[in-house]
Chains A and B, each alone.
Chain A
Amino acid sequence: MSTVVDISDLQISFATDAGTVDAVSGVSLQVQAGEVLAIVGESGSGKTVTARSILGLLPETARVRGAVVLTSKDGRDSQDVVPLRGSALREVRGEDAAMVFQEPSTSLNPVYPVGWQIIEGLRAHGKLSRKEARAKAVDVLRRVGIPDPEERIDHYPHQFSGGQKQRIVIAQALVLDPGVIIADEPTTALDVTVQAEILELLRRCRDDFGAAIVLITHNMGVVADLADRVAVMYQGEIVEQADVRTLFSAPQDPYTQQLLAAVPRLGQGVEHTRERAARRTPGWAEAAPVVEARDLRIVYPGRLRKPDFTAVDGVSFSIRPGEVLGLVGESGSGKSTIGRAIAGLTKVSGGSLQVLGTEMNGFKERAFRPVRERIGFVFQDPASSFNPLLTIADAVAEPLVVHKRAKDPRAARARVDELLEAVQLPRHFGDRYPHELSGGQRQRASLARGLALQPELLIADEPTSALDVSVQARVLELFDELQKELGFAALFISHDLAVVDLLADKIAVLYRGELVEEGTGAEVLGAPEHPYTQRLLASLPVPDPDEQARRRTEWNALRTTD
């Protein structure tokens, strides 16, 4: 095997307003031809910057030292990318190394047909006639699994689904037959079932096209599924490098061990759920539910001659006091819409939704305001759910002030300190501004704000999906502890089955606005009945290479029977 990429003692620093910051310090890596090297690490660990340096794709403020030697696929010439500029750099890009970005919807230009965008790359590197280039583009589209490529080559990006767009981006990378493809979180923006297909395609890139892949990801399941070798990065350094089996079975570095331990695994929650069920008082099942939905329908009105969009269609469920309902579904399944409807942020169009005794179908804001006091909400993105100009203490005090439990934020400070302590944040964090906290800390503060009024119902809309795995584990643990202590009912919305499984008493699976399956974790995850749930479960990559290989064959079997 030959080395395609040889990074030696790479150091990258950035000029920022606060001075110079080292993003990568002393990284050495080799990528062999035809292998998948996964670089894993938390956000800010320098994994993306390292991979981007292979293509010379760094902002102007970056300063690079060290060498990144890129060898072309046939092994004839190799050169250091770091000092390259202008046309020499352009020569290398695309031909020797190509890139697949995270967000397929933004990495394609919306005003050009996809074929044009593929051909643009082809013509930049070779003297091909229009016809030859088009034939090549059609060919590569077919090979990445776009049906009817002859016709679809003239379609625009918005005419493709998210998964297809990512296939096109991969086609764009493959068309020049590069020696190495850098895939920066290629499946993070995609649903689990689509992710499985893209991973399959990337595997084919390696097997059929013989391209080496540098896979940047934070998802250990994806690593187990695709990678041959793994490099773990932490604070700009590589802490461990090993082949995938060794890494998962015998991680050496304490950081890797901690990272692997934090990954939620399916089936962990069964024992937990049983424990919780045993603790319930008799007669609990007869208690009036906190939330009860019957044939709930939520329709977003269409704009100008476009048909209405039914986001939620005939969904019935109930949450009893002290119960945690996990709502799982892919993007567009209507799971967030249900959460927003319960909080009175979205109007209910049909059926009935009772929240703490109030009917939400046709509710009046004035009548609902007293009920709001009894509902807490934790938002998905901790970065935007805090007013950037208020301190954390002011933000947490906001519900107390609004509902007249305190005169002003200062009067509420004692209670705020209690709340911050409850979510394990030091008191003095109250004086900080949101941007001075990390994502996990912010999400804990968000939890404190949600619980400030001691609500009977907490709605958590993907509270951990923007967080790193290790941080996610801590926030989930905290959520569980607080729930046990305070006994609030909760609707926990997530796209991640394993996360929901950890916390929820009951799991409800949504698919295109309909509730396809509901039951305890053991029922839904252990013996799924609906084909969609089965497919969802089979596509979820587990952080264990051997187990994942077995599951992949199952998934393939399931896929062919469809």
Chain B
Amino acid sequence: MATATTVATPTRKTWRRLPIVKQVRQSVGLQRGMLLAGLVLTGVFVLTAVFAPLLAPYEYDQLRDAAGPFGAQAHPSGNHLLGTTVGGYDVLSRVIWGTRTALAVIVIAVLLSIVAGVLLGLVSGYFGGWLDRVLVVVCDAVYAFPSLLLAIIVAIVISGGQSSLIGGVMAAAISITVVFIPQYFRVVRAETVRIKSEAFVESARVIGASNWRIMVRHVLRNATRTLPLILTLNASEAILTLAGLGFLGFGIQPTAAAEWGFDLKQSLADVSSGIWWTSIPPGVAIVLTVLGLTLVGESLNDLADPRLRSRRAADGPPPAGTVEPGGAVVNSAGYVA
């Protein structure tokens, strides 16, 4: 019904169409609050990671300064705002440096899984046939595995369970990648199968475009609309998996990098003896980072679906122009959590 056309304004404000900015402008009320809270938390996380050398008072593996050793399980004080751990590291510094490890793992894991998952999904959905069936079965099998168990196996295979900074980060990232590939694969494959039957793909076939050209130019770009949503949700899951690996002892050595899960494990014994400052800070860091990313992901998911999106009530004077037809309808089928 609502078929109306836009009268294109000559000067388009391009920054308003940027992904996140557009969604913030679109949202109202509670949804906007959730999105902004998520964005702020995520922003703080990323900035901390980038400026860790400036923010952290000490190095992540520093045990002594000019005044001598820090001492183990020292109370929070002027020198050590959050005290020191059982191993004698500065807690605040470890938490701040930990953002770097977390960010590195997220970026590597998400990049690897997106590239592999999208490529496989595209080929599988577009060509179909036996390859499609085999890939779907393999992905279902990966789904059926407990992801942490799978991550542990991969961590052992890659690094023998213990490792340096690069080895540890890669082990965690690749193990997370393996678990995430099926999610991207499924979403992209489903979208590809849907888009394949759209008239514009047929029209490209009639023109005589090659399969590769159709896949890249016509299918891929239309199939990736839901990816930002899965991406943010997966990022939060990646942190949890990394922390889980560290907690179970498959993580990164304290001398190689700061890692929240490892610190939590080390502080386990402290909890019962009333030493709160070793366990709470890394725990809170994990919670806030995951919360921030999840809030962004969930809000983007809701905003992308016109049925879930709340709007301002119809009121006030109508605008001079006409309407843009409904916007893109992205259903929530792509949402896998």
B203, A379: Cβ atoms closer than 8 Å: yes
Q: Is the CB of B218 within 8 A of A435?
A: no
Q: Which residues of A contact B142 (CB under 8 A)?
A: none
Question: Could you tell me the distance in whole angstroms from the C-beta of B178 to the nearest C-beta in chain A?
Answer: 31
- Which of A169-177, A436-444, A494-502, A522-530 is the contact stretch? A436-444
A512 at interface by CB-CB < 8 Å: no
Contacts of B2 in A (CB 8 A): 14, 16, 21, 23, 44
Q: 1/0 per residue A368-408: CB within 8 Å of B?
A: 01001101010111001111111000010011001100000
* Contact across chains for B321 and A18 when beta carbons are under 8 A apart: yes
Q: Mark B185-213, 1 if CB is under 8 A from A, else 0.
A: 00000000000001110111111111001
Give the size category of A's interface with B: 35 or more
B residues in contact with A436, CB < 8 Å: 5-6, 8, 324
How many Å lie between the Cα of A372 and that of B209 in the bound state? 10
Residues of B within 8 A of A44 (CB): 1-4
User: Pick the contact of B311 from A16, A395, A403, A439 — CB < 8 Å?
Assistant: A16
Expressed in whole angstroms, the Cα–Cα distance for A438 and B8 within the complex equals 13
A437 CA / B312 CA spacing, docked (Å): 26
Determine if B314 and A18 form an interchain contact, defined as CB atoms under 8 angstroms apart.
no
Q: From B4, B199, B322, name the one whose CB has the most chain A CB atoms within 10 angstroms.
A: B199
Contact code string A64-97 (vs B, CB < 8 Å = 1, else 0): 0000000000000000000000000000000000
CA distance A17 to B205 in the complex (A): 35
Q: Bound state CA distance, A149 and B82, in angstroms?
A: 81
Shortest Cβ gap from B188 to chain A (Å): 16
Q: Contact between B203 and A439 (Cβ–Cβ < 8 Å)?
A: no
Q: Does B129 contact A (CB under 8 A)?
A: no
B141 interface residue per 8 A CB criterion: no
The answer to whether B222 and A18 have CB atoms under 8 Å apart is no
> A44 to B325, alpha carbons, bound, how many Å?
11
**Choice from B200, B208, B325 contacting A385 with Cβ under 8 Å:** B200
Q: Does A22 contact B (CB under 8 A)?
A: yes
Q: Which of B200, B202, B322, B324 has the most CB of A within 10 A?
A: B200
* Contact assessment for A22 and B205 in the assembled complex, using a CB-CB cutoff below 8 Å: no
A402 touches B209 (CB 8 A): yes
Set of chain A residues within 8 Å of B326, measured between Cβ atoms: 16
Q: Would you give the 0/1 interface string for A19-58, flagging 1 where the beta carbon is closer than 8 Å to chain B?
A: 1111100000000000000000001100011000000000
Is B206 a contact partner of A17 (Cβ separation < 8 A)?
Answer: no
Whether B314 and A15, one on each chain, are in contact in the complex, defined by CB atoms closer than 8 angstroms, is yes
Query: B35-49 vs A: 1/0 string, CB under 8 Å?
Result: 000000000000000
- B323 interface hit (Cβ, 8 Å): yes
A61-B311, A375-B206, A435-B324 are contacts. A386–B200 as well, Cβ < 8 Å? yes
Q: Are B314 and A345 touching (Cβ within 8 A)?
A: no
Query: Which residues of the other chain, A, contact B202 by a CB distance below 8 angstroms?
Result: 345, 379, 385
Partner of B206, one of A63, A345, A438: A345
Which chain B residue has the least Cβ–Cβ distance from A453? B207
Roughly how many angstroms separate A14 CA and B314 CA in the complex, as a whole number? Answer: 6
Is A449 part of the binding interface, using a Cβ–Cβ cutoff of 8 Å? yes
**B199–A63 touching, CB < 8 Å:** no
Question: Is A62's CB under 8 angstroms from B314's CB?
Answer: yes
B13 at the interface (CB under 8 A from A): no
**Alpha-carbon gap, A403 to B209, bound state (A):** 8
A13 CB–B CB distance under 8 Å: yes
Residue in A closest to B316 when the chains form the complex, CB atoms: A20
Instruction: Specify which chain A residues have a CB less than 8 angstroms from the CB of B204 in the assembled complex.
Output: 387, 398, 402
Q: Is A155 an interface residue (CB 8 A)?
A: no
CB contact under 8 A between A402 and B207, given known A61-B311, A436-B8? yes
* A123 on interface, CB distance cutoff 8 Å: no
B311 touches A18 (CB 8 A): no
- Nearest CB on A from B3, distance (A): 5
Tell whether B319 is near chain A: CB-to-CB under 8 Å.
Answer: yes
Nearest chain B CB to A11's CB is how many angstroms away? 11
A380 to B199, CA, bound (A): 9
Given contacts A63-B315, A379-B202, A389-B222, contact A17 B1 (CB under 8 A): no
Q: Give the most central of A375, A379, A381, A389: most B CB within 10 Å.
A: A389
Contact mask A483-499 → B, CB, 8 Å, 1/0?
A: 00000000000000000
CA–CA, A369 to B210, complex, Å? 9
Picked from A61, A385, A398, the residue with its CB within 8 Å of the CB of B314 is A61
Confirm or deny: B78 has a beta carbon within 8 angstroms of a beta carbon on chain A.
no
**What is the distance, in angstroms, from B265's C-beta to the closest C-beta of chain A?**
47
Contacts of A63 in B (CB 8 A): 313-315
A345 to B202, CA, bound (A): 8
Q: Cβ of A15 and Cβ of B313 under 8 Å apart?
A: yes
Smallest beta-carbon distance A410→chain B, Å: 15
**Docked complex Cα distance between A436 and B328 (Å):** 13
**Pairwise interchain contact B206-A377, C-beta atoms closer than 8 A:** yes
Residues of B within 8 A of A13 (CB): 314, 318
Do residues A17 and B315 form an inter-chain contact, with CB atoms below 8 A? no
B208/A373 in contact, CB under 8 A: yes
Known: A373-B208, A398-B209. A18 touches B200 (CB 8 A): no
- In the complex, how many angstroms separate the beta carbon of A183 from the nearest chain B beta carbon? 16
* Chain A residues numbered 437-489 whose CB sits less than 8 Å from any CB in chain B: 437-439, 441, 449
Contact string against A for B residues 10-37, beta-carbon threshold 8 Å, 1 for contact and 0 otherwise: 0000000000000000100000000000
Please, how many angstroms separate the alpha-carbon atoms of A61 and B306 in the complex? 12
A247 at the interface (CB under 8 A from B): no
Complex contact B208–A18 (CB within 8 A): no
Q: Given A16-B323, A18-B321, A22-B318, A438–B198 Cβ distance below 8 Å?
A: no
Residues of chain B with a CB closer than 8 A to A15's CB: 311-315
Interface residue from A14, A345, A384, A387 paired with B205 (Cβ < 8 Å): A345
Query: How near does chain B come to A300, taking the closest CB pair, in angstroms?
Result: 15
Q: Are B318 and A18 in contact (CB under 8 A)?
A: no
Are B318 and A402 touching (Cβ within 8 A)? no
Contact with B along A350-384 (1 / 0, CB 8 A): 00000000000000000001001101010111001
For window 503-528 of A, CB contacts with B under 8 Å fall at none
Which residue of the partner chain, among A16, A432, A435, A449, contacts B203 with CB atoms under 8 Å?
Answer: A449
Decide: B1 and A18 in contact? CB cutoff 8 A.
Answer: no
Q: Is B327 an interface residue (CB 8 A)?
A: yes
Return chain B residues, CB-CB under 8 Å to A389. Answer: 221-222
A373 to B322, alpha carbons, bound, how many Å? 39
Chain B residues within an 8 Å CB radius of A168: none
> How far, in whole Å, are A437 and B8 apart by their CA atoms in the complex?
10
A62 to B1, CA, bound (A): 14
Are the CB atoms of A43 and B208 closer together than 8 Å? no
Measured CB to CB, the nearest residue on chain B to A446 is B203
Q: How far is the CA of A76 from the CA of B208 in the complex (A)?
A: 67
Given A13-B318, A19-B319, A379-B203, is A49 in contact with B218 using a C-beta cutoff of 8 Å?
no
A343 at the interface (CB under 8 A from B): yes
| CB closest chain-A residue, reference B203 | A385
